[in-house]
Amino acid sequence: MKRFSAILIAVMFMIIGTHSVTHAMDWKSLNIEMVSRTENESQTIVILKDRQARTFKVIYQDEAMLAKLSNKIIKYKNEFYGWKNIRFNDITFMVFANFLNIIIIPQEVNVNGLNLAGAIPAGIAMAYDPEKDWVRYDFRITKDEEFIRIVGNYLHEDELVNRMAKTYDNPAGNLQSANPDPLQPANTDELNEKMVQALIYLNNQDWNGRQKTIPVETIRQVIKLRQSNPDATKAQLWKMVKKAKINVSKREYDLILVLCFNEFK
């Protein structure tokens, strides 16, 4: 089974108009030290460290939105670093529009004496919705050549670990939840769209080696075509995609089928 490399999260932000930043985020006021800062034409990436020397990455475009979500970044950084059974050194927060996306690459996921970190190839993806004030997780776990989607509202570490354990112990019992359209779960459409976009972004590069994503509408077009032609092979469906003039590369097409339909071959 084809497996993705561990994801270092980021996403290509949709730019509407132009804006300027009048001042940089004051991380010192939050007892945070900036280790490094890099910028390109669409985003800023900062590596930060707290007083316990715990590092985390923040990727953003809009400084004002970053300021609004900065307290939530610190809150969830502290909470996740306080986990007992899930340990990691790699966590990234992404400010995307009014959402806060989070990717955690676990080193250890202790479930009944087993380390399930290797069964979570793309990391634990989460997103915070400020309007609903909740965090929702949406990621995949592997078992016996199956790639099973886990989706739910984050409550606490124990609930999340128990969900992983049940999925790993009984993958067949969770396959049904992996098959529905991942872009249209009840009441969480936009939240899950952003996470799918982020995962595509981090496994996709342009000719210059830079990460890039594709519009949500493009993802929906490929999904609709696959749902309308469930018996078509990947090769046959790719011909349909080109005939329909959907603006997607072969790599992006493959990623959509992997992330949304668990199709690896």
| Separation of alpha carbons 234 and 80, rounded Å | 39
**Token pair of 210 as six digits:** 């830079």
pLDDT given at position 7: 37
pLDDT given at position 140: 84
| Separation of alpha carbons 9 and 105, rounded Å | 9
pLDDT given at position 19: 38
| Separation of alpha carbons 124 and 126, rounded Å | 7
* Reported pTM: 0.68
| Spans of the chain below 70 pLDDT | 1-23, 173-199, 201-213, 262, 264-265
pLDDT given at position 59: 87
With tokens 């099973």, the residue in question is 148
Q: SS3 of 74, please?
A: helix
With tokens 């490929």, the residue in question is 222
Q: Tell me the CA end-to-end span of the chain in Å, nearest whole number.
A: 8
| Separation of alpha carbons 10 and 205, rounded Å | 12
| Separation of alpha carbons 71 and 77, rounded Å | 10
**Token pair of 196 as six digits:** 């799918």
pLDDT tens digit sequence for 68-98: 999 999 999 999 999 999 999 889 998 877 7
